[in-house]
Chain A
Amino acid sequence: MKVVYRAIWDLPVEELFASGHRACAGCGPAIAMRWITKAAGPNTIVVNATGCMEVTTTQYPETAWMLPYLHVAFENAAAAASGIEAAIRTLSAKGLWRAGKTNVIVIAGDGGTYDIGLQALSGMLERGHHVLYILYDNEAYMNTGIQRSGATPKYAWTTTTPVGKAIRGKVQEKKDIMGIVMAHRVPYAATATIANLLDMTNKIKTALEYTEEGPTFLHILAPCPPGWRYPEELTVEMARLAVETGYFPLYEYDHGKVRLNPPTSQIAADPKRKKPLRDWLKLQGRFAHLTDAEIAELEREVAANLAYLSALAKAFS
């Protein structure tokens, strides 16, 4: 990761994501959108898949975006961005593109990435389009009323994985989307959260720089107060605890090298610095039904995931 912003005072002041959007109070993805637009700058085309951030920001005839913005369906955000990028490249070759280096960014939720848009994403990554794909992950289909997605963690309550005698929330585990993206051998892929904003903005800047070479990918954890069932003032705290408990490790894949970023690198080096997963789970209503045995099982899975990533970082350093 290239460090463009060293401190909080280096961050850009200009707002490109207007107030007055209809996102819920305490919306995590809205914080992510604010900082994606700020870090990307005004010479950017945003392609947005259907999802919370499309529904809440572009209620006709109003828009919160102050950048060229295209709304497309769940399935084809990556495909539409590929087309835009190819058009810019062709027009530039003919000398007809006068806007200079224009960033093309896809913004899609976890439903539009993990489940419905995966095929278009894979195609875009394989064809090597110069596009930054940003996944904001709120771990379910929140905009239609909290249905489970491929990103929902194990044992989480959603309206389609209810808690009862037969099942205890979601049965399956969260899909490793970073693993899928890394398998495409892209120049750059990274994870970030809305709590570590300096880390996130630097990763956006780095990813945009590497789009010269090919597609880049960013996975941003953005907590959702109504879907995760926690008081709305805890949004940033939730993202911070997700990293500090090891649930959501911060790492990057840079030209074949895997690197853990702080604070995940410190947690991996010294497991005593890892906070108990219970601290994060007990604040959320979607995990309110968990027994001690189930929490211990999730804790073991988190430790196994951290060990896997540490081994990966060691093998590909």
Chain B
Amino acid sequence: MSLPRVHEISIGGIIAEPGSSRRNLTGGWRSLKPVLHDDRCIRCRICWLYCPEGTIKEIKGEFVVKGKKYQYKYEIDYDYCKGCGICAHECPVKAIEMVPEA
């Protein structure tokens, strides 16, 4: 990592770019990995609600799972997921499984 030179740092140390922490991929912290089984998911939005990192992505579209039509699908952003397991613990149908990171 190269550090900025003193004249490149803004006065007062302000950070001008909002949400720049996205450059820091926290996925490497994980020892357990959540795997979402889409066939068991009932689209209740609870994992999305409680994720401290905001890594559960809600994807809109037409999804047919086991003959049922859904307008949403949930995916986990493994770049930032720290593997805390709150989603797996809170899931009412146990559609999220925590597996050891390979």
> Which A residues form the contact surface with B (CB < 8 A)?
8-9, 11, 13, 15, 17-28, 30-31, 34, 57-67, 194, 197, 225, 231-237
Residues of A close to B13: CB separation below 8 A: 60
Q: In the complex the two chains form, what is the Cα distance from A66 to B80 in whole Å?
A: 17
Q: A19-B21, A20-B21, A57-B21 are in contact. Are A34 and B54 (CB under 8 A)?
A: yes
Q: In the complex the two chains form, what is the Cα distance from A74 to B24 in whole Å?
A: 26
Q: In the complex the two chains form, what is the Cα distance from A62 to B77 in whole Å?
A: 20
A11 touching B15, Cβ below 8 Å: no
Q: In the complex the two chains form, what is the Cα distance from A195 to B5 in whole Å?
A: 45
Using C-beta atoms within 8 Å of the partner chain, give the interface range for chain B. Answer: 35 or more
Q: In the complex the two chains form, what is the Cα distance from A26 to B31 in whole Å?
A: 13
B49 touching A8, Cβ below 8 Å: yes
B58 touching A13, Cβ below 8 Å: yes
Residues of A close to B95: CB separation below 8 A: none
**Nearest B-chain residue to A23, judged by Cβ:** B52
Q: In the complex the two chains form, what is the Cα distance from A34 to B89 in whole Å?
A: 19
B75 adjacent to chain A (CB < 8 Å): no
Contacts A24-B82, A31-B52, A233-B89 given; 12 further ones with Cβ under 8 A?
A8-B46, A19-B21, A19-B79, A21-B24, A25-B82, A27-B52, A30-B53, A60-B13, A62-B24, A63-B15, A232-B86, A233-B84
Residues of A close to B9: CB separation below 8 A: 61
Q: A66-B18, A66-B19 are in contact. Are A20 and B26 (CB under 8 A)?
A: yes
B54 partner, pick from A17, A24, A63, beta carbons under 8 A: A17
Would you mind naming 30 contact pairs between A and B with Cβ atoms under 8 Å apart?
A8-B45, A8-B49, A15-B54, A18-B19, A18-B54, A19-B77, A20-B22, A20-B23, A20-B24, A20-B25, A20-B26, A21-B53, A22-B26, A31-B50, A34-B54, A57-B21, A60-B13, A61-B4, A61-B15, A61-B20, A62-B20, A62-B24, A63-B21, A64-B19, A65-B18, A66-B18, A231-B85, A233-B84, A233-B86, A237-B89
Chain A interface SS verdict (over half): loop
Q: In the complex the two chains form, what is the Cα distance from A30 to B53 in whole Å?
A: 7
Highest count of chain A CB atoms <10 Å: which of B9, B15, B86 = B86
Residues of B close to A8: CB separation below 8 A: 44-46, 49
**Nearest B-chain residue to A27, judged by Cβ:** B52
- Mask for B48-60, Cβ within 8 A of A = 1, else 0? 0111111100100
A266 to chain B, nearest CB (A): 21
**Nearest A-chain residue to B19, judged by Cβ:** A18
Q: A11-B49, A15-B54 are in contact. Are A26 and B25 (CB under 8 A)?
A: no
